[in-house]
Structure 1
Amino acid sequence: MTSMLDELAIDKSKKQCSSCQDNNESKNARSWCSICEEAYCEHCEKYHKSLKVLSKHKLIYLQEIQTGNCDIQIFEVLSCEEHQDHLVEVYCTDHSKPCCTLCVTFSHRQCKNVISIKKAASGSKQSTKTSGLSERLNDHLIDLSEVIDNRNQNLADVKNSR
């Protein structure tokens, strides 16, 4: 579910380069860094790869995301809500909250049900809530497609009646 939402977060057709936008320029992006959560044009992608600190980051081509050939999760790394410089590593089922190690040490030390984030994510994929949500999203997608088709037909009818 997270991966589906992440893919929707990337405007697949006209995503602009994040670095260029910061410099008030407008260039179409061709890749996405799953660690930085930024889109890059060909020029900025080259510099992203050349910096030693960023060289190990996995860049995904937007075309792969569009065609569904992307085999890794986008936004694999999430920052903790309370400690932005720490990564989410565990999930407190007592509070239904993702946490970093600092949170567990200070805020959730009395909690009895703290599991790894990977275990929590794998469990959510098989949950009935997730499958129900997926079905509802598919139903809405069908409804939206019908509305779009209807609007396009109405537009064509108006053009033909002139």
Structure 2
Amino acid sequence: MGVSGCGKSSVGECVATQNGMPFLEGDQLHPAANVEKMAKGLPLTDDDRLPWLDRIGEEIRAAQKASRGLVISCSALKRNYRDRLRQAAGGRLAFVFLEGSRELLLSRMQARQGHFMPASLLDSQLQTLEPPTGEPGVVTVAIDGALDDMVALACEELRGAAIKGGFHAG
């Protein structure tokens, strides 16, 4: 979880691969209207995000019903969004919060090719972000390192959090 440009997809794919789990790009679950709105440089509202979060929650429940793990990239910028996903998961959910400076995030967004989310929306995402400090089942990983190091730290921290929190982390 985190704002656009933090590496959710890259880290999520690698975490999923290392733990033998499927990966789902959460942006693929956005309704077309959300994608169109963001592509125009308009920030999403809570009303825009809630149906999207519910679709993500459905994917989490389906994975649990099938007794399989799942890694999903999702911004989950507000505590109530994360709580909505926790509720969908019956409390058995962990988050990796990818944290970085505005400057690093902006440079990553500006370097991306073909992504619908323009760099102009970074500040609105940073304003919306409620950092998950102190929330259960959250590990924080700084994004200023190499991808392999970020993934290794995320996996290690998730295993530690799983022991404390009772969820499965590979």
Q: TM-score interval w.r.t. the shorter chain?
A: under 0.3
- Give 1 or 2: higher helix fraction: 2
Q: Which has the higher contact order (CA 8 A, sep 6+)?
A: 2
